[in-house]
C-alpha cells in the first residue's frame, strides 16, 4: 500500500508539471480521499490549487477534510470565494468545525462568511461547547424520524435526505418536544415489514451522552457498547447531535497518546503527529517536567548530605544507590501506570481504592521478597566473588537487600494510591502522579537505605 502511494506520487507530480490535467483527473478520481490528502500534503505548494480544481466536488471536500492544517490553509489561501463556498457546502458540520478550530482568525472569518446561514448557525452552536466536550466533537447532521412513521416511510425519508447526513445507519426518533425517545438502525428498518410502525421496532433503552460530558466518557461508551454512533442530548434530554465512531476513534488514539506522554513526563500540548511538530513545540512540551523533576531532586541531595558521615564511613554503599533508586522507581511506575490506565479505561474507580491497595500490597510483597533474595545472592556471587569487591560483605548485602524489599513495597503502595487520590481531588492522575511519585520514592528509598545501614552496620 505504502509503496503504491510513493510511485503514484511521482507520477502525479510529473503529470502535474506536464499539465496533463485529464489524465490527472482520471487518476485522482479512483483514489481514496485519505490518499489524495497525502499527495497534497507531500506537494505542499501553490500548485496544489490547480490539482484541487481537478477533483470532483464531493471527493474534493472529502480529501480536504483529511489534509493537515498547513495544506488546508495553503489551499484556502488560493481559493476564490466561490470555490471556498463550494467546499464548505460539501463539508459535514463537525468537519467544518474541526477545520475552523485550527485556522487563524482571518481564515475563520472568511469561511464563516461563505457558509450558508443555516450551516453557520450550526457551526457556531458547536463552537460554543467547551474543548474536549461531547458537544465539541458531535455533528448535527443525522437522520431524525418520528415515532408514528412506518418502516417504508422511514426508508423513503432516508433515501430523500440521507445524502447530507454523516451516517444513515442509526436513525434517531424524537417526540414533538425534540426529546430523544428511541433509535432505529437501518438494519432493523430493512429487515422490518413495510407497514411496521417505528415506535414498535425502535430500541427505547437508549444510551446517550450529555453535551458537556468529557470526550473521554464518550470514548468509554463506544468501548463498552460497540456502537456506530452515540446520541448527544442537552440537559433537558433534547437530541442535539450525534458522535460517530470514526470521530470516537480519533479521540481514542489521541487520549491513549496523551496517557503515554504524560507517563513519560511530557506535557501533551497538541495532537499533531511527531513529524509535524517543530523543535520549539517539542522543547516546550518536554522542558517543564524536566525542570520540575530536576529541582525536586534537591530532596535527594539533602538526604545524601544528611547522611554524609555514614557514607564516608562505608563508601561501598554509594555504589548501590542507583540500583535501589532505579528499582524503586520501576516498581512504582509499574503500579502507577497500571492504575492510571485502568482509571482512564473506567475499569476501576475511587471506591475500589482499598481493594487496589490490598492487591498491590500482596504483589509488592512477592516482588520485594524475590528481588531482595535475588539481590542478596547476586551481590555475594557477582559483586563479591566474581568482581572481587571485598567491601561487599554479608552485612552490606543484607542492608541493600532489606532496603530493596522495603522500597519495593513502599513504591507499589505509593504508586497505586497516589493516582487514585489525585484523581479524586480533581486533577489528572497521569500528569501529576508520575513526577510526584518519582520524587517521593527517590527520597524514600534513600532514607530507608541510610536508616537500615545505620542500624545494621552501626555507622
Q: Which residue lies nearer to a second copy by CB, 84 or 367?
A: 367
Given 352, 393, 454, 457, the residue binding a second copy (CB under 8 A): 352
Query: 456: closest CA among 405, 400, 395?
Result: 395
User: CB under 8 Å to 393, separation ≥6 — which residues?
Assistant: 384
Cα–Cα dist 307/300, whole Å: 11
44 binds a second copy (CB under 8 A): no
Stretch that binds a second copy, among 14-22, 73-81, 109-117, 372-380 (CB under 8 A): 372-380
Q: Which residue lies nearer to a second copy by CB, 49 or 212?
A: 212
Q: Which residue lies nearer to a second copy by CB, 49 or 369?
A: 369
DSSP secondary structure, 183-210, as one string: EEEHHHHHHS-TT-BHHHHSB-S---EE
Q: Which residue lies nearer to a second copy by CB, 366 or 394?
A: 366
SS3 string of 317-368? Answer: HHHHHHHHHHHHHHHHHHHHHHHHHHHHCCCCCHHHHHHHHHHHHHHHHHHH
Given 126, 137, 233, 371, the residue binding a second copy (CB under 8 A): 371
333 binds a second copy (CB under 8 A): yes
Q: Which residue lies nearer to a second copy by CB, 22 or 370?
A: 370
Stretch that binds a second copy, among 41-49, 86-94, 106-114, 156-164 (CB under 8 A): 156-164
**Which residues from 158-187 bind a second copy, rule CB under 8 A?**
158-159, 162-163, 168-169, 186-187
Contacts made by residues 253-259, CB under 8 angstroms, sequence distance 24+: 255/215, 255/216, 255/219, 255/344, 258/430, 259/340, 259/341, 259/344, 259/430
459 binds a second copy (CB under 8 A): no
State the number of binding residues for a second copy (CB under 8 A): 112
Given 378, 421, 428, 451, the residue binding a second copy (CB under 8 A): 378
**Residue 452 per-residue DSSP state:** H
| Residue 172 dihedral angles phi and psi, to the nearest 5° | -115, 135
253 binds a second copy (CB under 8 A): yes
Cα–Cα dist 417/351, whole Å: 12
**Which residues from 197-226 bind a second copy, rule CB under 8 A?**
204-205, 207, 222-226
Minimum gap (Å) between residue 105 Cβ and a second copy: 29
**Which residues from 292-331 bind a second copy, rule CB under 8 A?**
293-295, 297-298, 300-302, 304-305, 308, 311-312, 315-316, 318-323, 325-327, 329-331
Q: Which residue lies nearer to a second copy by CB, 108 or 413?
A: 413
Minimum gap (Å) between residue 402 Cβ and a second copy: 15
Q: Which residue lies nearer to a second copy by CB, 5 or 18?
A: 5
- Other beta carbons less than 10 A from residue 308's beta carbon: 10
Q: Which residue lies nearer to a second copy by CB, 105 or 279?
A: 279
Cα–Cα dist 184/188, whole Å: 7
22 binds a second copy (CB under 8 A): no
Minimum gap (Å) between residue 80 Cβ and a second copy: 29
What's CA 58's distance to the chain center, in Å?
30
- Other beta carbons less than 10 A from residue 448's beta carbon: 19
- Other beta carbons less than 10 A from residue 278's beta carbon: 9
- String of contacts with a second copy for each residue 110-149, x by CB under 8 A: ----------------------------------------
Q: Which residue lies nearer to a second copy by CB, 84 or 135?
A: 135
- CA geometry: angle at 116 spanning 115 and 122, to 5°? 85
Cell 436513525 belongs to: 171
347 binds a second copy (CB under 8 A): yes
- CA geometry: angle at 359 spanning 358 and 365, to 5°? 90
Minimum gap (Å) between residue 257 Cβ and a second copy: 6
Three-class DSSP category at 238: strand
User: CB under 8 Å to 413, separation ≥6 — which residues?
Assistant: 335, 357, 360, 361, 364
Q: Which residue lies nearer to a second copy by CB, 283 or 427?
A: 283
Minimum gap (Å) between residue 113 Cβ and a second copy: 29
- String of contacts with a second copy for each residue 409-448, x by CB under 8 A: -----------------------------x---x---x--
Given 22, 381, 387, 455, the residue binding a second copy (CB under 8 A): 387
Three-class DSSP category at 34: helix
Stretch that binds a second copy, among 78-86, 115-123, 176-184, 344-352 (CB under 8 A): 344-352
393 binds a second copy (CB under 8 A): no
Amino acid at each position: 500500500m505504502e509503496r503504491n502511494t510513493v510511485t503514484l506520487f511521482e507520477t502525479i507530480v510529473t503529470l502535474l508539471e506536464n499539465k496533463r490535467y485529464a489524465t490527472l483527473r482520471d487518476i485522482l478520481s479512483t483514489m481514496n480521499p485519505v490518499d489524495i490528502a497525502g499527495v497534497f500534503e507531500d506537494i505542499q505548494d501553490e500548485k496544489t490549487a490547480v490539482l484541487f480544481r481537478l477533483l470532483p466536488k464531493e471527493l474534493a471536500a472529502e480529501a480536504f477534510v483529511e489534509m493537515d492544517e498547513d495544506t488546508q490553509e495553503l489551499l484556502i489561501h488560493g481559493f476564490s470565494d466561490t470555490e471556498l463556498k463550494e467546499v464548505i457546502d460539501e463539508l459535514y458540520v463537525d468537519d467544518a468545525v474541526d477545520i475552523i478550530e485550527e485556522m487563524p482568525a482571518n481564515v475563520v472569518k472568511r469561511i464563516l462568511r461563505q457558509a450558508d446561514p443555516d450551516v453557520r448557525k450550526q457551526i457556531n452552536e458547536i463552537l460554543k461547547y467547551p474543548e474536549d466536550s461531547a458537544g465539541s466533537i458531535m455533528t448535527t447532521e443525522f437522520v431524525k424520524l418520528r415515532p408514528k412513521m412506518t418502516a417504508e416511510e422511514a426508508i423513503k425519508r432516508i433515501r430523500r435526505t440521507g445524502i447530507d447526513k454523516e451516517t444513515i445507519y442509526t436513525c434517531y426518533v424524537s417526540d414533538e418536544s425534540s426529546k430523544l425517545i428511541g433509535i432505529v438502525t437501518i438494519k432493523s428498518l430493512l429487515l422490518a415489514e413495510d407497514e411496521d410502525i417505528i415506535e414498535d421496532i425502535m430500541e427505547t433503552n437508549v444510551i446517550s451522552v450529555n453535551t458537556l460530558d468529557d470526550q473521554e466518557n464518550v470514548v468509554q461508551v463506544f468501548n463498552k457498547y460497540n456502537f456506530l454512533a452515540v446520541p448527544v442530548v442537552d440537559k433537558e434530554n433534547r437530541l442535539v447531535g450525534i458522535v460517530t465512531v470514526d470521530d470516537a476513534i480519533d479521540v481514542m488514539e489521541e487520549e491513549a497518546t496523551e496517557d503515554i506522554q504524560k507517563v513519560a513526563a511530557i506535557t501533551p500540548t497538541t495532537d499533531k503527529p511527531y513529524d509535524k511538530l517543530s523543535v520549539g513545540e517539542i522543547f516546550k512540551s518536554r522542558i517543564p517536567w524536566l525542570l520540575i523533576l530536576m529541582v525536586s531532586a534537591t530532596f535527594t541531595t539533602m538526604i545524601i548530605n544528611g547522611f554524609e558521615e555514614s557514607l564516608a564511613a562505608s563508601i561501598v554503599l554509594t555504589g548501590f544507590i542507583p540500583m535501589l533508586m532505579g528499582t524503586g522507581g520501576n516498581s512504582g511506575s509499574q503500579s502507577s501506570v497500571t492504575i492510571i490506565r485502568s482509571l482512564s479505561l473506567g475499569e476501576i474507580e475511587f471506591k475500589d481504592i482499598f481493594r487496589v491497595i490490598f492487591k498491590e500490597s500482596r504483589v509488592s510483597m512477592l516482588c520485594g521478597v524475590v528481588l531482595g533474595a535475588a539481590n542478596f545472592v547476586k551481590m555475594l556471587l557477582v559483586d563479591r566473588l566474581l568482581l572481587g569487591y571485598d567491601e561487599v560483605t554479608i552485612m552490606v548485602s543484607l542492608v541493600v537487600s532489606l532496603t530493596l524489599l522495603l522500597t519495593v513495597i513502599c513504591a507499589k503502595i505509593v504508586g497505586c494510591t497516589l493516582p487514585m487520590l489525585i484523581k479524586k481531588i480533581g486533577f489528572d492522575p497521569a500528569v501529576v502522579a508520575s513526577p510526584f511519585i518519582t520524587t517521593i520514592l527517590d527520597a524514600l528509598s534513600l532514607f530507608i537505605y541510610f536508616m537500615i545501614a545505620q542500624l545494621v552496620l552501626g555507622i
